[in-house]
Structure 1
Amino acid sequence: MAKNLVLTIVGHQGYIRHEDEKQYALQNDILFGAISQTYLPLVNMFHRLENDGIDFKLALVLSPSLCSLLDDDLIKSQYINWLEKRIAFGEAEVARLADDSDLLRNAQACLAKAKKDLADFTQLYSQNLIKEFAYFASKGNLELLATCGTFAFLPHFGDMTEILNAQVEVGLYSHRHYFGMNPEGFYLPFMGYTPGVEQVLRSYGFKYTIVDIRSVLFSETVPEKGIFSPVRCNLDNTTSLSKSSLALFCQDPDTPEDIVGENGFSSNPVYKNQGKDAAYEVPFQALVDSGLIEDGMPRIPSYFRYWNNSEDASYNEDDAVIQAHKDAVTFFESKKAKLDAAEECLGQSPASLLCVIDAKNIGQDWAEGCIWLESLIRETAASDIKLSGPAPLIGNIFSLQKITPYPGAAQGNSYGEDLLDSSNDWMIRYTRKMSERMVDLSDRFPNETGLKVRLLNLGARELMLAESGEWSKMIHDGYFPEYATKRFKESIKAFMIVFDALGSNTVSTEWLTKLEREHLIFPWMNFRTFSPKK
Structure 2
Amino acid sequence: MSEGSFCLVLHSHLPWLAHHGAWPVGEEWLYQAWAHSYLPVVDLVERLAAEGFADLLTLGVTPVLAAQLDDPHCLRGVHDWLGDWQLRAHGAASRLPDLAAREHRAARWALETFETRWRHGFSPVLRRLVDAGVVEPLGGPATHTFQPLLDPRLRAFALETGLRDTALRIGTRPKGIWAPECAYAPGMEEGYAAAGVERFLVDGPALRGDTALARPVGDTDVLAFGRDLEVSYRVWSPKAGYPGDPAYRDFHTYDHASGLKPSRVTGTHIAPHDKKPYEPERALLAVRKHALDFVDTVVTRLRELKARHGRPSLVVAAYDTELYGHWWHEGPLWLEAVLRALPEAGVRVTTLRGAVEAGHVGPAVHLPASSWGSGKDWRVWHGPRVADIVAGNEAVQRALLALPASADRDPVADQAVREGLLALASDWAFMVTKDSAADYARHRAEIHGDRFAELVAAARHGRGRARAADLRRVDGPFGHLDARDLTRRDSAAEDEERRCAS
Q: Give your verdict on TM over 0.5.
A: yes
Q: Deviations over 1:299-353 (max 9, x none)?
A: xxx3x21211114211111221221121011011111101011112222x33111
TM-score w.r.t. the length of structure 2 is 0.91
Question: Percentage identity across aligned positions?
Answer: 18
CA RMSD, aligned part only? Answer: 2.0
Cα distance in 1 for partners of 2:398, 2:161 equals 18
SS in 1 for 2:94: helix
> Mean Cα displacement is larger for which, 250-259 or 111-120?
250-259
- What is the match of residue 223 of structure 1? none
> How many Å apart are 1:526 and its aligned residue?
0.9
Change (3 A) 1:336 1:75: same
- What is the match of residue 297 of structure 1? none
Change (3 A) 1:434 1:188: same
Q: Deviations over 1:452-500 (max 9, x none)?
A: x111111111111011001111122222222221111111111111222
Structure 1 gap segments, 5+ residues each: 98-103, 219-225, 236-243, 288-301
- What is the match of residue 18 of structure 2? 17
- What is the match of residue 38 of structure 2? 39
- What is the match of residue 210 of structure 1? 201
1:447 aligns with 2:403: no
- What is the match of residue 460 of structure 1? 417
Assess if the C-alpha contact under 8 Å between 1:4 and 1:387 holds in 2.
yes
Cα distance in 1 for partners of 2:20, 2:184 equals 36
Assess if the C-alpha contact under 8 Å between 1:164 and 1:197 holds in 2.
no
1:379 to 341, 348, 361: 341
Assess if the C-alpha contact under 8 Å between 1:255 and 1:357 holds in 2.
no
> How many Å apart are 1:254 and its aligned residue?
2.8
SS in 2 for 1:431: helix
Where does 1:187-206 land on structure 2 (aligned, <5 Å)? Answer: 187-206=178-197
Structure 2 gap segments, 5+ residues each: 267-273, 494-502
- What is the match of residue 138 of structure 2? 145
Where does 1:12-411 land on structure 2 (aligned, <5 Å)? Answer: 12-18=13-19, 24=23, 26-55=25-54, 57-97=56-96, 104-157=97-150, 160-217=151-208, 226-235=210-219, 244-261=220-237, 262-278=239-255, 280=256, 282=257, 302=259, 304-310=260-266, 311-347=274-310, 349-395=311-357, 400-411=362-373
- What is the match of residue 470 of structure 2? 514
Change (3 A) 1:367 1:397: closer
Change (3 A) 1:124 1:392: closer
Cα distance in 1 for partners of 2:359, 2:221 equals 7
1:430 aligns with 2:392: yes
- What is the match of residue 486 of structure 1? 443
SS in 2 for 1:402: coil
1:523 aligns with 2:483: no
> Mean Cα displacement is larger for which, 315-324 or 416-425?
416-425
SS in 2 for 1:148: coil
Cα distance in 2 for partners of 1:397, 1:319 equals 42
Cα distance in 2 for partners of 1:397, 1:379 equals 23
> How many Å apart are 1:2 and its aligned residue?
6.2
SS in 2 for 1:143: strand
Change (3 A) 1:338 1:4: same
Change (3 A) 1:341 1:26: closer
Assess if the C-alpha contact under 8 Å between 1:64 and 1:148 holds in 2.
yes
SS in 2 for 1:229: coil
| Matched positions, count | 481
Assess if the C-alpha contact under 8 Å between 2:164 and 2:173 holds in 1.
no
TM-score w.r.t. the length of structure 1 is 0.86
- What is the match of residue 496 of structure 1? 453
Q: Deviations over 1:340-377 (max 9, x none)?
A: 11112222x33111111111211121111111111000
Q: Deviations over 1:385-434 (max 9, x none)?
A: 10111123225999741111111111111003122223322112222222
Cα distance in 2 for partners of 1:163, 1:56 equals 34
> How many Å apart are 1:201 and its aligned residue?
0.5
Cα distance in 1 for partners of 2:91, 2:316 equals 45
Cα distance in 1 for partners of 2:143, 2:449 equals 15
> How many Å apart are 1:211 and its aligned residue?
0.9
> How many Å apart are 1:122 and its aligned residue?
0.9
Counterpart of 2:146 in structure 1: which amino acid?
F
SS in 2 for 1:136: helix
SS in 2 for 1:315: coil
Q: Deviations over 1:134-172 (max 9, x none)?
A: 211111110111111111111112xx2111101210111
SS in 2 for 1:355: strand
Cα distance in 2 for partners of 1:140, 1:454 equals 38
